[in-house]
Amino acid sequence: MGVKSPPVTTSRAIVYRARDDLRLEDVPLPPLAAGELLVRIRACGLCTGEAMDWYMARKAPLVLGHEIVAEVVQTGEGVARFSPGDRIFVHHHAPCMRCRSCQRGDHVHCLTWRKTKLTPGGLSELAIVPREVVSADVLPLPREISDDAATFVEPLACVVKAAHRAGVGPGDRILVIGLGVMGLLQIMLARRLGAELIIGADRVGSRLERGKHAGADIIVDVTQTALPETVRSHTEGAGADVVVVGPGTVEAIEMGFRCVAPGGSLMLFTPTPPEEVWPFPVHDAYFREVSVIPSYSTGPPQTQEALQWLARGLPVETLITHRFPLEGAAEGYRLVREARDALKVVVHP
Q: DSSP characters for 123-171?
A: SBSEEEEPHHHHHHSEEEPPTTS-HHHHTTHHHHHHHHHHHHHHT--TT
Q: What pLDDT does residue 5 have?
A: 55
**Burial of 238: CB neighbours in 10 Å, binned 0-12, 13-18, 19+:** middle
Q: How confident is the model at residue 9 (pLDDT cuts 50, 70, 90)?
A: confident
* Confidence at residue 131, expressed as pLDDT on a 0 to 100 scale: 97
Compute the mean pLDDT over every residue in the chain, rounded to the nearest whole number: 95
| Local confidence band at 8 (pLDDT 50, 70, 90 cut-offs) | confident
pLDDT of res. 2: 40
Query: Running DSSP on this structure, what letter comes out for residue 271?
Result: P
Q: Which of 80-89, 174-183, 230-239, 332-341 has the lowest mean pLDDT?
A: 332-341
Q: Where in the chain is the domain with CATH 3.90.180.10?
A: 11-141+315-348
CB 270 within 8 A of CB 248: yes
Which of 344, 280, 330 is CA-nearest to residue 20? 330
pLDDT at 225 over 90: yes
User: What span, in angstroms and rounded, lies between the C-alpha atoms of 221 and 46?
Assistant: 26
Which tens digit of pLDDT belongs to each residue from 96-153?
999 999 999 999 999 999 999 999 999 999 999 999 999 999 999 999 999 999 999 9
CATH topology of domain 157-294: Rossmann fold (3.40.50)
pLDDT above 80 (res 3):
no
> What does the chain come to in residues?
349
- Quickly name the fold that domain 11-141+315-348 has: Quinone Oxidoreductase; Chain A, domain 1 (3.90.180)
Across the beta sheet with 197-202, what order do the strands follow? 218-221, 197-202, 173-177, 240-245, 260-268, 291-294
- Residue 6: is its pLDDT beyond 70? no
Where on the phi/psi map is residue 85: left (φ > 0), alpha (ψ -120 to 50), or beta?
Answer: left
Lowest mean pLDDT among 18-22, 92-96, 304-308: 18-22
Find the helix packing angle between 181-192 and 153-166, rounded to 10°.
60
Please tell me the distance from the alpha carbon of residue 97 to that of residue 189, in angstroms, as a whole number: 26
Average pLDDT, integer, range 325-339: 95
Ranges for all domains in the chain classified under CATH 3.40.50.720:
157-294
pLDDT at 107: 97
CA distance 52 to 201: 21
